[in-house]
Each structure stands twice: as structure tokens, then as C-alpha cells.
Chains A and B, each alone.
Chain A
Amino acid sequence: MHYDIIIIGAGHAGIEAGLAAARLGCRTAIFTQCLDAVANLPCNPSIGGTSKGHIVREIDALGGEMGKVADETTIQFRMLNLGKGPAVHSPRAQVDRRAYADTMKLRLEQQPNLHLIQGEVISVEPISNKPPSSFLGKELSPRATEEGSRSDAACGSQLPNGLWPHARRDELCSPETINPPHWSIQLLTGATYTAQCVILATGTFLRARVHIGEHNHQAGPDGLPAAMQLSESLKQLGIPLQRFKTGTPPRVNRRSIDFSQTTEQPGDEHPTPFSFLHEARSSKPQLLPREGAPAAAGEEGSRSDVTSSSHLRRDDSPSASPLGEVRPQARWGCTAAPAVSHPPAPQVPCHLTFTTEATKQVIQANLHRSPMYSGVIDGIGARYCPSIEDKIVRFADKDRHNIFIEPCGRHTNEMYLQGLSSSLPEDVQHQILATVPGLQHAQVMRPAYAIEYDCVNPLALRPTLEFRDRAGLFGAGQFNGSSGYEEAAAQGLMAGINAAHKILGREEFTLGRHEAYIGILIDDLVNKGTNEPYRMMTSRAEYRLLLRHDTADRRLTPHGHKLGLIDNTRFAQYEAKQAQIQQEKQRLASVRITWQGKSATLTELLRRPELDYTALAEHDPDRPNLPQEVITNIETDIKYEGYLKRQQAQVHEMLRLEHVPLPADIDYHAITALRIEARQKLVAARPETLGAASRISGVNPADVEILLLFLKKK
């Protein structure tokens, strides 16, 4: 059987890769070890958060799926960092873990051009004798038709007509054009499949080993089997693997928690959806005073849904299974806005508690039983995802650590204990819980564990996420050394787009650091590499004022439309919103009012820190009725104008180097004026532009000047 693109893994990276590739018209297959674990959330039951929320909105603005499904399955929403500045406002949703997975699985099942197949991939091999350089997409003829493709015939998998009803229209091929498969994958069962491009999105499954105290065994997350054989096949391809470690806290039964000892953490009264598609339905008319909002979020949700479909998710229908609630989807891209309310039902609160002095003592007394401290685990853990034992050891002077109790879904009692990630033995975990207010009698349903897994050194990747020395082979997600669902999904989307573009003979698609957090994520991974699971942070984004979550559509939807992932209906909606913003900005700049005895334009008044759009309402009777997100957007643009300009100037300066390409064949060792460390780092990362080179640690400004001189001399 032959596909254009095969994706290994149906986690958040594999999903976005598969959907993007299929939507761009490529015949795509996603392989997963277990169809019941598609779109699994094996760690925290939430999507978004600081900088990750930005990424979700960016994925959505480009036509990805994560934001839409998260909106549909949200059980609690919070905008984090309100009051810390608009650049760092971060949307975060607790989602119903089962509903999320099931909704997403159905999206995949309904996606034309996409096959979702259960099977463990044990090897990936090139099947052409041609050197990799001849595989470059541009040299290849357009894909073959299913009929009469020699290579398809050779593989004995001639495809029947009509199997691909939505095959792309732009590349109809002459009979003689041949689209040879470049890669072959083999399943544990012995079955083989071929494809022009393969995307590795194996998450934490490669040679995975779970540690709970002194015990450890081969396993992936959530008791799923580990993929034990694929690593060896990748090593034979010369792919540099490294071993990382991550972990997850225990899940406990809601019944056993004494919530009276905890602090309730309710959701926001007015949730913001991730998807720009859902924006118009969820936002309130701006004139509605905040205090006067409907008493219950549920009412609000219902009301905003009056005009939409009848597939309402009712919170008072506990018998409805998550699957039953999923709306049958029209073919992707046909509807302007799916009929979902946001959030779909009354929000579920989280709760806050904390560790105590007794917790500290229990951990200190049992530290020797942690595999991280006894030296059993040699994988490198992330600094930002420390286990509770790490926190106690490294920050001994801190009296207590927060623990958030988060529901895993509406229809389960399982509660996730954020902050208690651990690899200590089960009995110690019980002892720890006994010291935490509210959790003294908590009944552990799944113990905390640490997991070690193989992933790639991302320096081997190009900015398109294709392997530099293995044309047609891509990596995405946690396999690339990142951490987090959102980071994974973003890479999946970009790898899917680039694999499809390679096959379609289109230009490569990358995003700059000034355009998107996605750009920063990939630039950091492929140029700086990482020696721990990489997590996005707002502080990694040097141009973060330009990368606000509410501008993701402005930054990326035109790209999404050009790519073909945003349909015309949605693009028209986007353009209407932008026009609305522009018109209102012009109006604000032209309307003058008398304020405290002086004449000033509304724009001038809005620049003042003490004034905002709402405060000016009574002096501005002719203002249009605008959605809140439009107002926020305008207000921030005006108030931050000076700082936005400052950042744009920095971007301008950065792009000067960004536009200088570095030829792939530079012999850095021969440029003796470069410092030795710089030479080594450049050889390892092979940056594609001078800008990328300049961001590598160990490459100093003087080295960049030397490279610039070298390029000029050439």
C-alpha cells in the first residue's frame, strides 16, 4: 500500500500533521499503536497556558484543529496573567480528557484523504537507491496517478479508483509521471507500507520505560505498550537519538478529597475561545457591563447558541456519553463556524492546596528510593517540570508548594494533582498525600510515574522539520525533544504542511521568530538544540509584544489561507474583522472630544494609562457596537504603540541577518577566524541563515561579523 505521507503516531503532533497533509490533498495515513489512545492527554487535562495558549491560537489561525476541539470540550476556562500586560495574557482550558480524544479521533476518521490505522511501526527504511539529494521535492515530477504507477505496482498495492474522492485538483498528472515511494515502513505484523514522506511523531513511546520508585518496566504512558524496535531502525539511518525523561503526578478519586480544606479556583466568567472561528459567538456585546453579565455561564452559553444547531451539549444530561455529544462534522472547511457553545456547559472548578512541612520530611526521608536520585534514570528531565522531590531538594528553603486539583473530565472522578509529579514508590506517594490538606485520605487511582524515552537531537532537523540528511523524513512533537501537547501540535502542523509541499513541489513554509511562537519553537529546536524537554515560555519570545494571542489571526490567517488550510468563508470572516478593526482605529483617530477642558482625539485619550475604551463610552455616543476581542485588540494596539514600534525596529534589525542565507556546504572548520567553539556549534546546527547562526549560544557577534565577511568574499 502506498501513501504520499505516512505519519507514525496519533498524538497531538501526528494529528495536526495528518490533518494538514490530507487537507492539502495528499493521501495520508496515520499509524498508531492503539486506536483507543488517539489524541490522548497522558499528563495534565488542560490545553493552553502561558505561551502555550498563544501556540494553540496560532495553530488555529493557520487552520489547525487543536483549538477548535479544545473549545468544544472545555470544562473550565481561565485567561491567565490578566493584569500582567496584554502580551502575556494566556488562555488556558481544562478539557474533558475523553471528550477531547473522542472528538479529535472522529475528526481524523471523517477527514477525506486520511487513513487512521492501528499498528506498531518497527522500521523505517529508504527504498530507493538514489542518493538523498535527488529526492529534493523540486526535482521530482508531480505525483503519479494511482493507475499505472510502476512503483505502486511493484509494491503490489494498486489503489482502486475513487478511493481518494478529494484528491488534490492542482496536480493532475500525465500517465508517464512517476512518483516513486521513497520510504518503506514495516509493522510489527510484517505488513509494509510505502510513502514519499514519513513524519516521525512517536511522542514518549520509543523504548519507553516507566519508573515508580525502585520498580521500572517497559511501557509508554497510561499503561500503553512501549515501541521497542523503531529506535534501532532510526539509529541505522544515522539519526542521532537522545534520552529524555518526564513525569506525571498521581490521579486520585474525587470522592476521597476533602474540598473544604482547599481553595476553589473557578473559571472565568467570560471565557475566550481558542479558535478565532468561535470568537464571534462567545463574545459579549461590549456595552454590557461586566457586573451585569448573566449569573450563570450556562445561561450565557445557551443563549449564544440559540441560532446555532440543536446539538447542544447540556450539562444536565449526565447520561449522554462524550461520543454521543460529538456533532457529526461536515467535511472540513465547509462550515464557517461549528455549532458549539463556549464553554459547552457550566464550568467545573479546580481546587488549590499545598504541601506542608510534613510533606518535606516524608520526601527527605525517602529520597534514596527515587530512581532520579539513586541514579537508575539516566534520561534528562526538564527543569520546568520538576518532580516534587526535585522541588524539595533544590528549593529547600521554600515552605510549601502549590498543588492544583484538576478534574480529568465531566464523567469521571479522576482528579489530576498538578505539582505532585514524582517517581517515588507508591507507598511514599500515599504518605505524601497524607500530609497535604484535603488529600489526607485521597485514594490513588493511578500512581505518579517518571518515564524515559528516546527522542531525536533536533539539530539534525531543518527549519521545515525535515531531516537535513534524510530527504522526505520529518520529525515532529515530543520526538523532536519538545514537551507539551501544544508544542507538539504546532510542530505536527508545520511538518505536515512541509511534507505536503515537498510532494506538491511547493515552497517550503517556515515562520519567523517575529511572526509566531511556532517560529520561535522550531528555530530554537533546530538551531540551538536542547538538552532537556523543551517548553515554550513567553520569555523565550523576544518580540512578544508583537505575538499577542489576540493577534494570532492577523499574523497567521493570511498564511493559512494562502496555504489552503483556511477556506474562503473563514477568510472572509477574518477580513471582515480586520476591516472592523481598521475602521474603528481610523474613527478613533479622527473623532475629537473635549476631555477635562481640552480637545483631544479618542486615540490620544486611549493612550493615557488611566483611560480605556469602556471609560470613554459616555463621551463617544456614536461608537459602533463591537465585539470585546476587537475592542481589546484596538485598545492594546493604541496603548502599546510606542513599544510595538520599538519591537518592530528590533525585528527590522534582526531580519537584516535573517535574509542572509548560509550555504549548506560551508566548511566552518576552514574559517579559521571563527572561534573554535563557534565552529563546532555551527557544524552541529548547520543554520540556514546568518540570523539563525547568530542565535546559537557560543556564536558571538564577532563570529557573525566574520561569517558576514566570509560570505562577502565568496
Chain B
Amino acid sequence: MPSPTIAAIATAQAPGGIGVIRISGHAAFDIAQHLFSPKKPLDYSQLRHHTMAYGTLHDFPAATNQPPAQPSSNKPLGSFLGKELSPRATEEGSRSDAACISAFAHGYKIDDIICLLFPAPHSYTGEHVVEFQCHGGMAVMQRALQAVFSAGAQPAGPGEFTRRAYENGRLNLTQAEAVMQLIAATSEQAARAAQAAMGGALSQAIDQTRANLIALQAHISAWVDYPEEDIDALQSSEITHILNQAQQELHALIARAPRDNLMLQGINTALVGRPNVGKSSLLNVLAGYDRAIVTPTPGTTRDTVTETVQLGNLTLRLTDTAGIRATDDAIEAAGVQRSRAALAQADLILAVFDASQPLTTEDHDLLAQCDPARTVIVFNKSDLQQQTPRLLPREGAPAAAGEEGSRSDCDLAASPFTRVSISALQASGIDTLTQAIEQLLNTSSFNPNEAMLANQRQRDTATQALAAIEEALYAHESGYPLDAVSICIEDAITHLFALTGERTTDAVVDEVFARFCVGK
């Protein structure tokens, strides 16, 4: 029993120039034949390569005069692009749909379209694929989709096109994961990284390491299984060299995973500082900077408001935290608790201070809770204080606070904290801030074309492979014979295959016979 034929709108759900409906499955060409009247004759049975045709899309069988099975406007819209439509979208859709029904009430033509036909297996999913390129517009698109459903297609589930591509061997696991990554990409850099992964950047990097280990293991196997063939005994240094190399490569991949992850998933950033130091204006500046879209979304794991802003190549997910100070107020204490958690979990802390004011005890308490490796101190209101921000208390300040402030100010000057001065009001210093963050998080070295571990599964598997290689090295260096070493190498190979969703099977045995002249 073949998989059902699926369809969905493949372009963004917004008014736009061109909208694409993608249909995949064994019945895709039948559906196209049913709904699409090409300008020039088209023989579906003769299709061998992808083909483009111009023509008209109808919402009931063009050849026979059958009306559609169901009035399209009454049918639920289902899911598009793998996402359930929000009630608002559905209402809008229905409304415009209703409007257009009347427009098309007596004509069955939906649109003049370009139809792309990809015969299996030379398509994205490996099945027959049809794409209708319509003139965009929500009403037209949804009407067209309804027609496709009426002709026998089912709504595509989330990620279903990609899943089919994986199932039919068109993508390997890391590539399929990369598609999902691309869909979820938060920045241009992340999107480019996802594209590199789709092109197999990770697979290629792993392939090399894996091939080296398989070659090593094959050599050991040939040497062990064919003791009477004159196969060169392995040099200890050669084994160590190959294992070291694999260890270094995997180690580098794993070591840069946290940074890569910041680029792929965005940087969880805690914005801290006393009220009125300019956090809000900084937020606004950041939000407006680079014309990034500001999307206030209720936090899912914590009850704070986050905003996603774009800062150069960086995507910051900003969490504005309440002040952190000892308090008797229960509600405020809860807020403080959340703030502490936000500080602990953040990839980046932006500690904002008023440059025109001396640092207070509260400021110092706050700084004490910030990890210098993840914190940038932002002196705001540099416009009010043209010279170096005042780090020393003003004369006449209370002695106790002054003393403390003074001491801490000195600490601060000598501290490892990264510091920048900006004027949120004048939107100046933002570039400096960006550079400071990139330097602190080492993101400027990020290369989207490099192999990277994009999700937890990949990181876990790579870590297991690394552990097995380290164990092989240990066994070899402590003088265990090769049988102990080889089972560790095999373990590493197994994990490296798992990374791309494959299985070892007979890779080593095949390599033995490809590389060594063995046998009686």
C-alpha cells in the first residue's frame, strides 16, 4: 500500500507575489491531470525529467464536467506548512475565501499557473511531485489547495515532505535534520549553516573521520583474520596517529558546538540593571536596529517577557529581568528569584548601568552575580557624560556607600568584565556593543559553511564516538593487544554511522577485501 499523496502550501502564509502548492505522492500526477489544463498538450505518462507547463488551474475536473466533491469553502483548512493555522488566520482565510467563492461562483477556473512536474525518484521527496505556482493571494491559494484536497490529496503533516525525502533515501538523517533547522533558522547565518548541513557539511566531515577509522579497523581485521598473508603489521605510531586525529576532529566539533548552537538557535540574553538606567531604551534601540522584527512572546519556561532582536549576525533572545536585591515583598521576591534563574541560564548577560551616575550598592550586588565570561557591562547615557564614565563616587556621598563603591569601582576597573559605553537615546555605540558580544562569545569565528553539531542528538552521538576513541587510545597506550583496541574503534565507527542515521553493517569487512589481498 503506497503512502497517501500529500499537499500543502509551500510558501509563506502572507500576501505575496507567487504562491506555491506542493503535492507529493503516487497520485500527484493524476491530481495535476485532474485540475490542470496545460496550454500545450502534456503527456504525463512520458515524463522522465522535470517538466514545466503553463496553463489553467480548475477547481473541478477540467476534462469531465464534474463539480468538486465538496464545496471548498466549507472544508476545514487543516494545516499548512506543517503548522496548525491560528484561529485568526482561519477566519481571515474563510472570509476572503467566501469573497472569492462568489467571484468564482460560476467559473471553475482558479488561476493561470505554472505547473512543475518532477517524476519519481528525481524529486525532493523521491516520489512524484507537482508544484502549482499561483499568483499568490490567500484566497486563490486556499481555493487551489482545496481543489487539490478534493482531488484526493491529504494535508501534509508537519515536516512530512522532508520525512518522505529521508524515508526514500533522498536525504540522510543529518540533511533532513538540517531542513528542519533551516525552517526554524532565526538568522541569515543560521540559515546558511542549515544550508551547509543540507549540502552535507557534517556528513562530509564525519565521512572523512569515519573512513580513516574504517581503514584502520580493516587493517587490524585483515592482519588478524589473515595471519598468514604478509600483511604489514600495524605500527603503533600509526594507530596512535589515526586515533589522535579522529579525537582532535571530534573534539573540535564538540568544543565549538555551544558556540555554533548560539548562532543556530539564538542567544539567550538576560538584560539586567536597576530601573531607569536605560534598559528599555536599549531594548528599543536593539529592536529597531537592523530593522529586526520585534516579536513579544510570552516565555514558555519562565514567566518573563522575551523579545528577539537582531544584532549584526547575532540573534538575541532578550529577557528583561527585574532587579536583584534583598526584599521582604513576596511578589518582588518571586521576581528576584526568576531574575536569578535568568542570570544563571543566560548565554549572555547585558548588565546596564547609568554612566552618569555612580555605581550603587545594588549595582555591585548585581555584578557579583554575573559571570564575567558571559557578561558585557553596558554604560548607558554616554551622551550625558561625554568623558569617561564616572566610576568613582561623587564627593560627599555617604561614607559607607562611598567606601564600598570605591572599593568595588577599583575592582571593576581591574575586573575581567567586558565594558562598553553607549547612548541608547542617540543610538550610538551599538556597533561597539555588537563587537564586544561577538568577541566575548567568540562568534566572529563562526563559519556557517563548517560542519557543526546542530542538535542534542548529534552532540550526544558525537560525544559517545569521542569517548570510544579515547578509550581505544587508552587501551593502545596502556599496552592492551589490538583485540581490545579494535572493539573500541568499532564502537566509535558505530556511533559515527549513527550520527548520520546509518548502521555499520559490513563496512569493515568490505574494506578488508577492497584493500587487502587476502585469502587462500
Closest to A419 in B: B520
Q: Does A700 contact B (CB under 8 A)?
A: yes
Cα A84 to Cα B223 in complex, Å, equals 9
- Assess A702 versus B501: contact at CB under 8 Å? Given A391-B517, A540-B509: yes
Q: Does B224 contact A (CB under 8 A)?
A: yes
Chain A residue contacts of B227, Cβ below 8 A? 50, 80-81, 84, 90
Cα A354 to Cα B229 in complex, Å, equals 10
Q: Does B105 contact A (CB under 8 A)?
A: no
Q: Does A244 contact B (CB under 8 A)?
A: no
Q: Are B487 and A646 in contact (CB under 8 A)?
A: yes
Instruction: Given A84-B224, A695-B503, A701-B498, output 8 extra A-B contacts at Cβ < 8 Å.
Output: A44-B520, A80-B227, A540-B509, A643-B480, A646-B471, A669-B1, A702-B166, A702-B501
Q: Are B512 and A694 in contact (CB under 8 A)?
A: no
**Per-position binary interface string of chain A over residues 51-93, scored 1 when its CB falls under 8 Å from any chain B CB and 0 otherwise:** 1000000000000000000000000000011011111101000
**Per-position binary interface string of chain B over residues 295-334, scored 1 when its CB falls under 8 Å from any chain A CB and 0 otherwise:** 0000000000000000000000000000000000000000
Q: Does A156 contact B (CB under 8 A)?
A: no
Q: Does A395 contact B (CB under 8 A)?
A: yes
Q: Does A423 contact B (CB under 8 A)?
A: no
- Assess A86 versus B517: contact at CB under 8 Å? Given A51-B225, A702-B501: no
Cα A201 to Cα B502 in complex, Å, equals 36
Q: Does A640 contact B (CB under 8 A)?
A: yes
Closest to A677 in B: B169
Q: How many pairs, one residue from A and one from B, have CB atoms within 8 Å of each other in the complex?
A: 136
**Per-position binary interface string of chain A over residues 367-408, scored 1 when its CB falls under 8 Å from any chain B CB and 0 otherwise:** 000000000000000111110000100110010111010000
Closest to B468 in A: A646
Q: Are B513 and A675 in contact (CB under 8 A)?
A: no
Q: Are A402 and B168 in contact (CB under 8 A)?
A: no
Which residue of A85, A542, A676, A699 is within 8 Å of B480 (Cβ)? A85
Which residue of B163, B166, B483 is within 8 Å of A544 (Cβ)? B483
- Assess A394 versus B517: contact at CB under 8 Å? Given A538-B224, A699-B503: yes
Chain B residue contacts of A435, Cβ below 8 A? none
Chain B residue contacts of A80, Cβ below 8 A? 227-228
- Would you give the shortest CB distance from A63 to chain B, in whole angstroms? 28
Closest to A404 in B: B228
- Assess A545 versus B173: contact at CB under 8 Å? Given A84-B482, A670-B1: no
**Per-position binary interface string of chain B over residues 482-502, scored 1 when its CB falls under 8 Å from any chain A CB and 0 otherwise:** 111011101100000010011
Q: Does B478 contact A (CB under 8 A)?
A: yes
Chain B residue contacts of A88, Cβ below 8 A? 224, 483
Cα A650 to Cα B2 in complex, Å, equals 36
Cα A694 to Cα B228 in complex, Å, equals 34
Q: Does A223 contact B (CB under 8 A)?
A: no
- Assess A83 versus B481: contact at CB under 8 Å? Given A404-B228, A537-B225: yes
- Would you give the shortest CB distance from B236 to chain A, in whole angstroms? 13
A642-685 with Cβ < 8 A to chain B: 643, 646-647, 650, 667, 669-670, 672-677
Q: Does A317 contact B (CB under 8 A)?
A: no
Q: Are B225 and A538 in contact (CB under 8 A)?
A: yes
Closest to B518 in A: A384
Q: Does B230 contact A (CB under 8 A)?
A: yes
Cα A88 to Cα B224 in complex, Å, equals 7
**17 A–B contacts from the bound complex (CB under 8 Å):** A50-B227, A249-B520, A384-B519, A402-B228, A404-B228, A537-B512, A538-B221, A539-B509, A540-B506, A542-B487, A610-B479, A643-B484, A650-B491, A667-B1, A672-B3, A672-B4, A676-B167
- Would you give the shortest CB distance from B49 to chain A, in whole angstroms? 21
- Would you give the shortest CB distance from B69 to chain A, in whole angstroms? 24
Q: Does A697 contact B (CB under 8 A)?
A: yes
Cα A400 to Cα B517 in complex, Å, equals 10
Chain A residue contacts of B225, Cβ below 8 A? 50-51, 537-539
- Assess A81 versus B224: contact at CB under 8 Å? Given A384-B519, A385-B519: yes
Q: Does B475 contact A (CB under 8 A)?
A: yes
**Per-position binary interface string of chain B over residues 61-72, scored 1 when its CB falls under 8 Å from any chain A CB and 0 otherwise:** 000000000000
Closest to B498 in A: A701
Cα A390 to Cα B475 in complex, Å, equals 37
Which residue of B167, B228, B483 is within 8 Å of A86 (Cβ)? B483
Cα A51 to Cα B487 in complex, Å, equals 16
- Would you give the shortest CB distance from B390 to chain A, in whole angstroms? 61
A interface size (C-beta, 8 A): 62
Q: Are B520 and A398 in contact (CB under 8 A)?
A: no
Cα A118 to Cα B479 in complex, Å, equals 56
Cα A473 to Cα B451 in complex, Å, equals 54
Chain A residue contacts of B501, Cβ below 8 A? 700-702
Q: Does B505 contact A (CB under 8 A)?
A: yes
Which residue of A402, A544, A674, A699 is within 8 Å of B487 (Cβ)? A544
Cα A640 to Cα B480 in complex, Å, equals 9
Cα A701 to Cα B503 in complex, Å, equals 7
Cα A700 to Cα B229 in complex, Å, equals 35
Q: Does A689 contact B (CB under 8 A)?
A: no
- Would you give the shortest CB distance from A76 to chain B, in whole angstroms? 13
Q: Does A318 contact B (CB under 8 A)?
A: no
B1-48 with Cβ < 8 A to chain A: 1-4
- Would you give the shortest CB distance from A419 to chain B, in whole angstroms? 6
Cα A452 to Cα B148 in complex, Å, equals 57
Cα A513 to Cα B239 in complex, Å, equals 28
- Assess A87 versus B520: contact at CB under 8 Å? Given A50-B226, A538-B221, A677-B169: no
Cα A86 to Cα B223 in complex, Å, equals 15
- Would you give the shortest CB distance from A462 to chain B, in whole angstroms? 21
B425-483 with Cβ < 8 A to chain A: 471, 475, 478-483
Which residue of A386, A544, A674 is within 8 Å of B517 (Cβ)? A386
- Assess A700 versus B223: contact at CB under 8 Å? Given A83-B481, A84-B481, A675-B168: no
**Per-position binary interface string of chain A over residues 535-555, scored 1 when its CB falls under 8 Å from any chain B CB and 0 otherwise:** 001111010110000000000
- Would you give the shortest CB distance from A264 to chain B, in whole angstroms? 14
Chain B residue contacts of A677, Cβ below 8 A? 169
Q: Are A545 and B483 in contact (CB under 8 A)?
A: yes
Chain A residue contacts of B377, Cβ below 8 A? none
Q: Does B508 contact A (CB under 8 A)?
A: yes
Q: Are A675 and B520 in contact (CB under 8 A)?
A: no
Q: Are A694 and B503 in contact (CB under 8 A)?
A: yes
- Assess A418 versus B520: contact at CB under 8 Å? Given A50-B225, A676-B168, A702-B166: yes
Q: Are A539 and B484 in contact (CB under 8 A)?
A: no
Closest to A420 in B: B520
Closest to A387 in B: B519
Cα A384 to Cα B486 in complex, Å, equals 21
- Would you give the shortest CB distance from B229 to chain A, in whole angstroms? 6
Which residue of B221, B487, B519 is within 8 Å of A647 (Cβ)? B487
Closest to A697 in B: B505
Q: Does A421 contact B (CB under 8 A)?
A: yes
B389-439 with Cβ < 8 A to chain A: none
Q: Does A609 contact B (CB under 8 A)?
A: yes
Cα A126 to Cα B290 in complex, Å, equals 82
- Assess A702 versus B173: contact at CB under 8 Å? Given A539-B509, A673-B167: yes
Chain B residue contacts of A647, Cβ below 8 A? 487
Chain B residue contacts of A400, Cβ below 8 A? 230
- Assess A383 versus B513: contact at CB under 8 Å? Given A418-B520, A669-B1, A701-B498: yes
Cα A677 to Cα B126 in complex, Å, equals 12
Chain A residue contacts of B505, Cβ below 8 A? 528, 695, 697
- Assess A383 versus B519: contact at CB under 8 Å? Given A404-B228, A646-B487, A700-B502: yes
Q: Are A697 and B224 in contact (CB under 8 A)?
A: no
Closest to B127 in A: A676
- Would you give the shortest CB distance from B453 to chain A, in whole angstroms? 17
Closest to B511 in A: A539
Chain A residue contacts of B166, Cβ below 8 A? 675, 702
Closest to A81 in B: B227
**Per-position binary interface string of chain A over residues 519-547, scored 1 when its CB falls under 8 Å from any chain B CB and 0 otherwise:** 00000000010000000011110101100
Chain B residue contacts of A646, Cβ below 8 A? 471, 487-488, 491
Closest to B176 in A: A702
Chain A residue contacts of B513, Cβ below 8 A? 383-384
Chain B residue contacts of A81, Cβ below 8 A? 224, 227
